[in-house]
């Protein structure tokens, strides 16, 4: 392997380590020695000629391999990914430290590509895409230098620099071709694959509310656009309508299923939230801090779930039309509805006043313990590991709210959203925790709840609807069946419940407003990443339409871009012509430079050929070759001035 | 022969890459669709397809400006001088650089790399070495230009027309090894009795050449001119020694005879004059007037003749010197008469 190639292979190995680090599946402490050995390989490789050095390296790799295999087989499948990734980068580091001058580095290239490939399944943020771009800009030039230096012949610095310059447009061309293929190649985004179709469930599930949340439902979902509720603010903007409307609350998790919050679990109906009290005029009221600031008119068209949809901030509720139903207040400050006569059932209509609810005074220690409980037997170890790793990044005295916000942001950035039955959906919670598969809102909420509970922070899962869509008339907000959603409520020390939504699309919009420039850039990258990883037929149609209408929507920008490209092409052609004309000067300069490097002087009347004849035998071959080429170029220019070469 | 089309073949690295791609493609089809999986496959396809296109462009349009192969003896490496140039793209524009170009020659025993150009911009020359060849004259009508650039995955090659000869003449050492060192042809001293001798008539003075006898140094002229000066005899100028090779023999005997004749031709190239005579061949080799390349070419191509063929005939007068080649004087005869 040529010495010119080694720095590029070191850069490849560093990027491979970064790929593995970006998956968060491997602890930094495990990767630290590999980082050090990769950087030190520039020096260490010189020891490769010593047999003892090679024996030590090979022995160390064998020992680490045995330990990894033992670890993977004894700690379960969840660690197999971590151990596999460590082994792959260990092989890479071993190669660049031990490859001899006569050996070919083919395996380094294959290994690097496979590491990038495998980590793509476990990375869920824009960092992987940035690393992939960097990887391409090192991988392609490394291949080019390898193709040129495979003959074990010395390559002088001029040719090496020319090769690296030549690699830039090629890398850009490959990146452009890849982007074109990704954007426009026709394919079936819903394809299951002949393995997946063998394991698919037979029936579809409809997205909607349920009385219990079972996580490992993988059947395809049917998204209905039927409107569930319509919310009209009275005398205020649409933005005053809360986004999260609660239906059911779940507090007990058995490892795969969330069960509804029951007063019996808490010891008292009043143990978690301030309760609804019926007033004499039929209004339902609960304790609030301050006067209500917003009034909403709500029409609930679908009450089949048996619950009334209310936001956390609801402090007054005035039923207008119950549609033949009775209301039963629940311990989580919601209402169950009991249908008395199905034939007379109509939509629910009610008014809601919003304010900050006052924390309950009856919050018992048992209730707090209940909301922080974890399943004893089927608690995923990976969740505990993740929690410990995340917790270590923060000081011990960090407050729970800050910690919960950080966890929420991390989940939004590092896990992917997908509906059940769609390609890449997690078959179980473990896959989602690992990051190897995507999940829907219930997975996000469950993960957040588990990680908070691992730290003893009381929280619960809430099911309801996400309200973000304005109605056609623009006077109200609506929620459809497809907007069924799950999120987490965290109990702070003062007894206030705080809403945390870890599902990516929900919180990004609210967080980007008023954020710093880095947050804006990060947000844009995350949005771009979401578009790439979630690209589908609809996305492609939108992209095509956007490109087709670009000259109409942005005529100045399009014209400016076309003009810039034309100017760049003209400039490049002019530069080539100038280079041609300047070759007459450059051949003399080149000859002088070659003589300078050899510390030779041109005697008066001496021709370049005579200088070549008096070159000492011990002259370095690369320098002698450079002088020969410079002399030949000078002769060509001097004696064939009309030649275009 | 016109330039052939560019042929593309995967290299070892490329073949293994294709195998890896096939495995990944199978995995892609077996599992549910994943955008990033598709992105990686698209990158691989772009790398391979553009690599093939660029390898094609790297060799397309290359011409052979010059090809020179120095004649060499059997068992010797020979220098090859190759000059390649690229076709002009358009007036005034710098030609597109080509990287990693190998020039290969078909010497009848397979393609052999003659030169390698790390960077070819417009026109470039390179000197390389060819391995030893068998005796003979090989017409080179094409030179193969090959490259693995840019990614080492695809090898592109094109056969470009050229016109050159690869002449491998007999090894002059064979006769010496088989039959002892032949006595070199002696100049006519004029004082030696019975035959070979040297003329006494002084034809002129000339500069000393390696191999001249110390006894011929003209000391006074040497002192005057400050460098060795030799007395040139008339007989030296006129003396021509015929070397007759009768090819009606076995191949082993012919090789020995040709080896001995080659030694004489190489000696005469620097000094002296010989006339190489065989069936259908009569060539004069003279240090001043040349003739050695043609003689070496003939020696490289000489073949055994049947015994029914006539004996070699010379157009000049009877030879004036006898040369005893070795144990088989009947097959290489340099006859001379005093």
- pLDDT, tens digit, 9 for 90 and up, residues B56-96: 999 988 888 888 888 888 888 888 888 888 876 655 667 78
| pLDDT for the residue numbered A348 | 87
Contacts of B21 in chain A (CB under 8 A): none
A174, A424, A532: residue with CB nearest B46: A174
CA-to-CA distance for A53 and A55, rounded, in angstroms? 5
Looking at CA atoms only, how far is residue A502 from chain B in angstroms? 23
CA-to-CA distance for A90 and A633, rounded, in angstroms? 47
Q: What Cα–Cα distance (Å) separates residue A512 from each residue in A240, A414, A507, A524, A527?
A: 18, 17, 9, 9, 11
Contacts of B44 in chain A (CB under 8 A): 113
| pLDDT for the residue numbered A100 | 81
| pLDDT for the residue numbered A317 | 93
| pLDDT for the residue numbered B323 | 41
Q: Does A146 touch chain B (CB under 8 A)?
A: yes
Q: What Cα–Cα distance (Å) separates residue A511 from each residue in A43, A408, A478, A516?
A: 47, 12, 22, 10
Q: Does B226 touch chain A (CB under 8 A)?
A: no
Looking at CA atoms only, how far is residue A177 from chain B in angstroms? 6
For residue B18, pLDDT over 90 is answered with: yes
- pLDDT, tens digit, 9 for 90 and up, residues B226-277: 888 888 776 555 567 888 888 888 888 888 888 888 988 888 877 778 888 8
Cβ–Cβ below 8 Å for B151 and A140: yes
- Best residue in B24, B39, B90, B93 to probe A by mutation, most A CBs within 10 Å? B39
Cβ–Cβ below 8 Å for B152 and A182: no
Contacts of B48 in chain A (CB under 8 A): none
The answer to whether the beta carbons of residues A110 and A16 sit under 8 Å apart is: no
| pLDDT for the residue numbered A546 | 85
CA-to-CA distance for A542 and A126, rounded, in angstroms? 21
What ipTM, to 2 d.p.? 0.70
CA-to-CA distance for A227 and A309, rounded, in angstroms? 13
Q: Residue A278's beta-bridge partner residues?
A: A284
Q: Does B56 touch chain A (CB under 8 A)?
A: no
Residues A416/A419/A423/A429 CA torsion (nearest 10 deg): 60
Which of B235, B227, B232 lies closest to B213, judged by CA? B232
- Best residue in B33, B92, B149 to probe A by mutation, most A CBs within 10 Å? B33
Looking at CA atoms only, how far is residue B24 from chain A in angstroms? 10
The answer to whether the beta carbons of residues B152 and B52 sit under 8 Å apart is: no
- Best residue in A147, A575, A643 to probe B by mutation, most B CBs within 10 Å? A147
Looking at CA atoms only, how far is residue B114 from chain A in angstroms? 14
> What part of B 306-325 touches A (C-beta under 8 Å)?
none
For residue B16, pLDDT over 90 is answered with: yes
Give the count of alpha carbons within 13 A of A119, CB side only.
Answer: 32
| pLDDT for the residue numbered A391 | 86
User: Which positions ≥6 away from A130 have C-beta within 8 Å?
Assistant: A525
CA-to-CA distance for A444 and A432, rounded, in angstroms? 9
| pLDDT for the residue numbered A11 | 94
pLDDT > 90: what percent of chain B?
18
Q: Name the percent of chain A in helix, strand, coil, to the closest 5.
A: 50, 15, 30
Q: Is B103 left (phi over 0), alpha (psi -120 to 50) or beta?
A: beta
| pLDDT for the residue numbered A270 | 60
What does residue A417 show for φ and ψ, rounded to 5 degrees? -95, 140
- pLDDT, tens digit, 9 for 90 and up, residues B136-170: 898 888 889 999 989 999 999 999 888 888 899 99
User: Which positions ≥6 away from B215 have C-beta within 8 Å?
Assistant: none
Scan for tokens 């690869």, then name that residue.
B166
Give the count of alpha carbons within 13 A of A594, CB side only.
Answer: 28
- What stretches in chain A show pLDDT beneath 50? 199-207, 506-515, 584, 641-645
3 state DSSP class of A604: coil
Q: Residue B168's beta-bridge partner residues?
A: B72, B136
Tokens for A256?
């795969």
| pLDDT for the residue numbered A298 | 94
Q: What is the DSSP letter of A240?
A: G
Q: Does A633 touch chain B (CB under 8 A)?
A: no
For residue B49, pLDDT over 90 is answered with: yes
Contacts of A177 in chain B (CB under 8 A): 42, 46, 49-50
User: In what side-by-side order are the strands of the sheet with B281-286?
Assistant: B281-286, B273-278, B241-245, B332-336, B320-324
Alpha-carbon A53 to chain mean position: 40
What does residue A412 show for φ and ψ, rounded to 5 degrees? -65, -35
Q: Is A483 left (phi over 0), alpha (psi -120 to 50) or beta?
A: alpha
Cβ–Cβ below 8 Å for B100 and A188: no
What residue in B sits closest to A118 (Cα-Cα)? B37
| pLDDT for the residue numbered B52 | 95
Tokens for A76?
């379960």
- pLDDT, tens digit, 9 for 90 and up, residues B182-221: 444 443 333 333 334 455 567 788 888 877 888 888 888 8
CA-to-CA distance for B321 and A458, rounded, in angstroms? 120
Looking at CA atoms only, how far is residue B320 from chain A in angstroms? 43
The answer to whether the beta carbons of residues B184 and B243 sit under 8 Å apart is: no
Contacts of A162 in chain B (CB under 8 A): 97, 99, 119
Q: Does A493 touch chain B (CB under 8 A)?
A: no
CA-to-CA distance for B149 and B11, rounded, in angstroms? 11
Residues A130/A412/A254/A389 CA torsion (nearest 10 deg): 60
Cβ–Cβ below 8 Å for B149 and A120: no
What residue in B sits closest to A106 (Cα-Cα)? B13
Global pTM reads: 0.60
Q: What is the DSSP letter of A439?
A: B
Looking at CA atoms only, how far is residue A70 from chain B in angstroms? 27
Q: What Cα–Cα distance (Å) separates residue A537 from each residue in A184, A275, A417, A524, A530?
A: 10, 47, 17, 22, 15
């Amino acid at each position: 392997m040529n010495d010119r190639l080694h720095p590029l292979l070191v850069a490849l190995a560093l990027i491979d380590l970064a790929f593995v680090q970006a998956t968060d599946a491997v602890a930094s402490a495990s990767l630290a020695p590999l980082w050090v050995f990769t950087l030190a390989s520039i020096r260490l490789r010189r020891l490769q000629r010593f047999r003892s050095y090679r024996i030590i390296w090979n022995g160390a790799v064998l020992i680490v391999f045995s330990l990894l295999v033992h670890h993977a087989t004894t700690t379960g499948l969840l660690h197999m990914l971590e151990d596999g990734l460590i082994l792959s980068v260990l092989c890479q580091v071993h190669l660049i430290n031990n490859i001899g001058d006569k050996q070919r580095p083919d395996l380094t290239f294959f290994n690097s590509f496979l590491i990038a490939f495998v980590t793509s399944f476990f990375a869920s943020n824009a960092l992987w895409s940035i690393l992939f771009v960097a990887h391409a800009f090192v991988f392609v030039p490394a291949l080019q230098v390898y193709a040129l230096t495979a003959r074990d012949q010395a390559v002088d610095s001029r040719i090496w620099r020319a090769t690296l310059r030549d690699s830039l447009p090629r890398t850009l061309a490959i990146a452009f071709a890849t982007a074109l293929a990704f954007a426009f190649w026709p394919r079936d985004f819903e394809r299951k694959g002949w393995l997946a179709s063998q394991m698919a469930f037979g029936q579809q599930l409809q997205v909607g509310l349920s009385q219990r949340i079972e996580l490992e439902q993988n059947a395809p979902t049917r998204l209905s656009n039927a409107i569930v509720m319509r919310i009209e603010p009275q005398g205020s903007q649409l933005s005053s309508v809360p986004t999260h409307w609660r239906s059911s609350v779940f507090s007990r998790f058995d490892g795969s299923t969330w069960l509804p919050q029951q007063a019996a679990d808490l010891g008292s109906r009043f143990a978690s939230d301030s309760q609804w009290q019926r007033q004499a005029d039929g209004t339902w009221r609960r304790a609030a801090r301050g006067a209500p600031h917003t009034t909403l008119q709500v029409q609930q068209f679908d009450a089949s779930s048996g619950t009334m949809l209310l936001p956390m901030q609801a402090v007054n509720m005035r039923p207008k039309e119950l549609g033949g139903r009775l209301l039963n207040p629940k311990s989580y400050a919601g209402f169950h509805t009991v249908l008395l006569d199905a034939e007379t059932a109509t939509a629910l209509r009610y008014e809601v006043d919003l304010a900050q609810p006052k924390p309950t005074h009856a919050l018992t220690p048992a209730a707090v313990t209940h909301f922080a409980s974890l399943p004893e037997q089927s608690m995923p170890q990976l969740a505990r590991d993740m929690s410990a790793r995340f917790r270590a990044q923060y000081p011990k005295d960090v407050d729970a709210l800050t910690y919960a916000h950080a966890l929420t942001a991390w989940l939004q950035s590092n896990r992917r959203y997908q509906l059940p039955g769609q390609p890449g959906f997690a078959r179980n919670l473990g896959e989602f925790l690992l990051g190897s598969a995507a999940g829907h809102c219930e997975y996000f909420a469950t993960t957040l709840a588990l990680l908070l509970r691992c730290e003893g922070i009381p929280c619960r899962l809430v099911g309801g609807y996400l309200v973000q869509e304005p109605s056609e008339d623009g006077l109200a907000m609506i929620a459809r069946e497809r907007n069924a959603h799950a999120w987490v409520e965290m109990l702070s020390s003062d007894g206030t419940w705080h809403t945390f939504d870890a599902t990516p699309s929900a919180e990004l919009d609210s967080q980007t407003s008023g954020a710093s420039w880095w947050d804006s850039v990060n947000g844009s990258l995350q949005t771009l990443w979401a578009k790439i990883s979630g690209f589908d037929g609809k996305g492609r149609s939108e992209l095509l339409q956007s490109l087709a209408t670009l000259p109409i929507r942005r005529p100045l920008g399009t014209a400016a871009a076309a003009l810039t490209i034309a100017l760049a092409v003209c400039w490049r052609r002019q530069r080539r012509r100038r280079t041609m004309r300047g070759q007459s000067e450059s051949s003399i300069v080149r000859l002088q430079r070659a003589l300078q490097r050899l510390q030779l002087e041109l005697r008066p009347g001496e021709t370049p050929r005579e200088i070549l004849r008096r070159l000492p035998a011990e002259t370095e071959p690369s320098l002698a070759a450079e002088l020969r080429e410079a002399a030949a170029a000078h002769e060509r220019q001097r004696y064939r001035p009309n030649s275009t070469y | 022969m016109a330039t052939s089309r560019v042929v593309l073949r995967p290299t070892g690295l490329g073949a293994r890459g294709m195998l890896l791609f096939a495995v990944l493609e199978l995995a892609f089809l077996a599992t549910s669709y994943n955008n990033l999986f598709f992105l990686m496959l698209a990158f691989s396809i772009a790398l391979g397809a553009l690599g093939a296109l660029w390898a094609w462009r790297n060799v397309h349009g290359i011409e052979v400006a010059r090809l020179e192969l120095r004649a060499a003896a059997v068992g010797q490496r020979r220098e090859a001088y190759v000059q390649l140039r690229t076709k002009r793209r358009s007036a005034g524009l710098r030609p597109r650089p080509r990287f990693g170009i190998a020039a290969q020659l078909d010497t009848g025993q397979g393609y052999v790399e003659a030169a390698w150009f790390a960077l070819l911009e417009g026109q470039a020359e390179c000197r390389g070495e060819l391995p030893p060849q068998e005796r003979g004259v090989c017409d080179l009508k094409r030179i193969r230009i090959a490259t693995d650039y840019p990614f080492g995955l695809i090898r592109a090659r094109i056969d470009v027309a050229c016109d050159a000869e690869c002449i491998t003449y007999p090894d002059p050492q064979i006769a010496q090894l088989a039959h002892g060192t032949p006595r070199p042809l002696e100049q006519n001293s004029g004082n030696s009795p019975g035959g070979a001798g040297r003329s006494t008539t002084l034809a002129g003075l000339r500069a000393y050449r390696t191999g001249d006898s110390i006894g011929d140094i003209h000391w006074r002229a040497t002192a005057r001119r400050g460098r060795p000066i030799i007395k040139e005899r008339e007989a030296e100028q006129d003396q021509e020694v015929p070397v007759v090779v009768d090819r009606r023999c076995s191949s082993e005997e012919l090789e020995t005879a040709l080896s001995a004749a080659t030694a004489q031709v190489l000696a005469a190239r620097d000094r002296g004059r010989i006339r190489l005579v065989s069936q259908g061949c009569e060539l004069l080799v003279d240090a001043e007037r040349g003739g050695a390349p043609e003689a070496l070419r003939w020696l490289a191509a000489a073949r055994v003749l049947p015994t029914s063929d006539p004996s070699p005939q010379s157009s000049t007068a009877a030879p004036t010197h006898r040369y005893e080649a070795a144990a088989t004087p009947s097959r290489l005869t340099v006859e001379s008469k005093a």
